[in-house]
Amino acid sequence: MPTGGIAPGKHHIHPAYVIKSALSAALLILIAVVPSVLGSVLPSVLMEDAEAGNAITYIMLSVIALFVLLVAFLGFFAFLSYRRFLWEITSTDIHIYSGVLFKKQVHIPFHRVQSIDFNAGVIDRIIGIVRLKIETAGGARNKAVLIPSLKLNEAEALRAEVFARKRMAAGGGIASAAQTMPVAPQIAYGRPQTAQGAGGLVRGVESSLAGARGMLAQEYYEEAPLEYEYRLTAKELLLSALSSDHNYVTFLIIVGFLSQIPEFLGLFVSLDGFVYQQAFDSLAKQAVSAIILEVFVFAALLFVLTIIGTAVSYGGFKARRRGGRIEVEQGLLARRYKSVAIQRIQSVEVKQGFIRGLIGYAELRLHTIDALDSGNEQNKQGMSSMGVTIHPFIKKTRIDELLAGLVPEFNERPQEKELRKLPPVALRRTINRSFVFPALIIGVPLALLSLLVIQPYVPADFARFVLIGMWALYAIVGAYYLIGAFLWKKHSTYTYNQRFLAIKQGAYGTSLLFIPRSKIQYARTKQSPLQRLAKVATIEATTAAGVGGTHTRLRDLRVAEADKYLDWVRPSLRR
């Protein structure tokens, strides 16, 4: 049997599963129980009551005993589910047997398998195991199947085997493990081969990661030839963390909040009466500046932490194309491996945050059909697709090159300069929609509040402070949305050619989406009564991306243009 082949018969998952689930259960219980126990016990401890002290000892002992018992029970349960969990590869399906009280058998025919992804937390990586997720084809209601712990090389072998058999099944042959397993190793999995633009630091991290395959390390060779690979350079990683909009927003909110503190404190000091004011003044000022300094340092720290967080989650980022699939790996500590079959890709998105837009960089995403994780069906239902990031930070001029390597299927997409603008009436409507109406809805009650409540009833000093603050905030938010409306009009554009629809929109950040016509499940135009007056319509394209489909819409095209778009979707008018 060649390296990594899967022996026939049923297999257990890796026994580390038992310890892992017991540990995580124990941790959960600890987090839930400790604060409440401490809360009830601490007061008496602090009072040094001897009698109570005895009682507390008993309580603590019984709590600890209960805890140990509970963890032991959960550990035993985990052991049972470990014993019951078996997987097997037969000539036609993957079989998974599981369940302690309710037994469950899942059979997945190879041709239904769409993707097999790995996930590994920090502990998993130390041990060298992964969680494996099998996604199957189907519409809105399909679930993913999980195998909770497998050795990395076993998981890789399983994946290769399943895809080999899937291919065989498609070709009509009968697969056997020994025949389909790779004979000539071409590319070592996880080793840097084509180092496109790999920087020194990240490459170093990469190789050491590839070496650190955990205690159960074994080499495994992937068969399908590598067609294209991309790695994130250290510079890109750092810049991508530095240019993430929401890092700055957090920072700005904290700093903005702080800048209000001196006025606020100063106000209360002055309200407290004139007698103390002299004495308080200098003291208060010192206290205030100390607080500001502290919180500022705290905010800066938080900022640095979020940047490190981004860096850690995108560290060792790799995207490659191999055998009709796109594979993305990422994460310095917890490692994620995600793969997508090309035909499952519904659209490609070029996403620009505000800061990234300014410096000419963007994020690239693929939107694919997602499956639900078994267990948490409800929360993802109807959620639109978040997509798979295939590059978190790419210079706009290099997008063509990367997409040509990774998804040449999208080569015929329209160019950005071909994008068409919306009619002028769209600007008026977006100003009304996102500025005038909300400004009135919020402004009128605010005006009533200031005239009828604050002016007459609140002390003048305080009232002035509140009014200025309130209306300043109102003006700032209003200006933000007004500028946003102009930006939205500027950015909102669309076009389509023989094979692709392109829709770009957004105010401060933009999103440019390329949707192949063959992936549009249905198309819609929509007109509200106001739009009928303005002779414009909304266009919409629905793909199967996400769970249960994703709508992409663009508001306020001229009616004739919207009709033309629908005609473009009609298969009967294609020739």
Among 39, 171, 172, 529, binds another protein (CB under 8 A): 529
**Structure tokens given for 459:** 């002390």
Near another protein by CB under 8 A, which window of 87-95, 179-187, 225-233, 542-550?
Answer: 542-550
How many chain residues bind another protein (CB under 8 A)? 34
Near another protein by CB under 8 A, which window of 199-207, 323-331, 469-477, 537-545?
Answer: 537-545
Residues 360-379 that bind another protein (CB under 8 A): 369
Cβ of residue 567: shortest distance to another protein, in angstroms?
A: 7
- Rounded Cα–Cα distance for residues 191 and 324 (Å): 20
Cβ of residue 573: shortest distance to another protein, in angstroms?
A: 9
**CA-based nearest residue to 380, from 370, 365, 389:** 370
Nearest residue (CB) to another protein, 346 versus 430: 346
Among 318, 549, 556, 557, binds another protein (CB under 8 A): 549
Nearest residue (CB) to another protein, 207 versus 525: 525
Among 43, 126, 532, 533, binds another protein (CB under 8 A): 532
Among 548, 554, 555, 557, binds another protein (CB under 8 A): 548
**CA-based nearest residue to 505, from 525, 484, 522:** 484
Residues forming a β-bridge with 373: 144
Torsion sign over Cα 62, 68, 72, 75: positive
Cβ of residue 341: shortest distance to another protein, in angstroms?
A: 9
What does R_g of the chain's alpha carbons equal in angstroms? 30
Among 175, 544, 554, 557, binds another protein (CB under 8 A): 544
- Rounded Cα–Cα distance for residues 6 and 96 (Å): 15
Near another protein by CB under 8 A, which window of 53-61, 251-259, 315-323, 525-533?
Answer: 525-533
Unique residue bearing structure tokens 């047997």: 97
Near another protein by CB under 8 A, which window of 197-205, 352-360, 475-483, 517-525?
Answer: 517-525
**Is residue 543 a contact residue for another protein (CB under 8 A)?**
yes
Among 240, 389, 550, 552, binds another protein (CB under 8 A): 550
**Is residue 137 a contact residue for another protein (CB under 8 A)?**
yes
**CA-based nearest residue to 246, from 321, 309, 337:** 309
**Is residue 524 a contact residue for another protein (CB under 8 A)?**
yes
Q: Would you call 501 helix, strand, or coil by DSSP? A: strand
Cβ of residue 345: shortest distance to another protein, in angstroms?
A: 10
**Is residue 313 a contact residue for another protein (CB under 8 A)?**
no
Q: What are phi and psi of 553, to 5 degrees?
A: -130, 155
Whether 113 and 158 have beta carbons less than 8 Å apart is answered as no
Among 527, 534, 553, 561, binds another protein (CB under 8 A): 527
Nearest residue (CB) to another protein, 198 versus 372: 372
Nearest residue (CB) to another protein, 135 versus 206: 135
| 20 contacts: CB under 8 Å, gap ≥ 6 | 123, 124, 127, 149
Cβ of residue 140: shortest distance to another protein, in angstroms?
A: 7
Question: Helix axis angle, 460-491 relative to 261-271, nearest 10°?
Answer: 160
Q: Would you call 434 helix, strand, or coil by DSSP? A: helix
**Is residue 324 a contact residue for another protein (CB under 8 A)?**
no
Q: Would you call 192 helix, strand, or coil by DSSP? A: coil
Residue 403 is inside which H or E element, if any?
helix 399-406
**Is residue 140 a contact residue for another protein (CB under 8 A)?**
yes
**Is residue 342 a contact residue for another protein (CB under 8 A)?**
no
Cβ of residue 392: shortest distance to another protein, in angstroms?
A: 27
Burial class (CB in 10 A: 0-12, 13-18, 19+), 161: buried
| 565 contacts: CB under 8 Å, gap ≥ 6 | 496, 501, 523, 525, 539, 557
Torsion sign over Cα 106, 107, 112, 115: positive
Nearest residue (CB) to another protein, 134 versus 181: 134
Q: What are phi and psi of 185, to 5 degrees?
A: -70, 125
**Is residue 566 a contact residue for another protein (CB under 8 A)?**
yes
Cβ of residue 550: shortest distance to another protein, in angstroms?
A: 7
**CA-based nearest residue to 518, from 499, 539, 502:** 499
Residues 90-129 as x/- pattern, contact with another protein by CB under 8 A: ------------------------x---------------
Among 8, 15, 139, 211, binds another protein (CB under 8 A): 139
CB burial of 279-318 (b: ≥16 within 10 Å; e: otherwise) equals ebeeebeeebeeeeeeeeeebeeebeebbeebbbbbbbbb
Q: Which residues bind another protein (CB under 8 A)?
A: 114, 137, 139-140, 343-344, 369, 519-529, 532, 542-544, 548-550, 559-560, 563, 566-567, 569-572
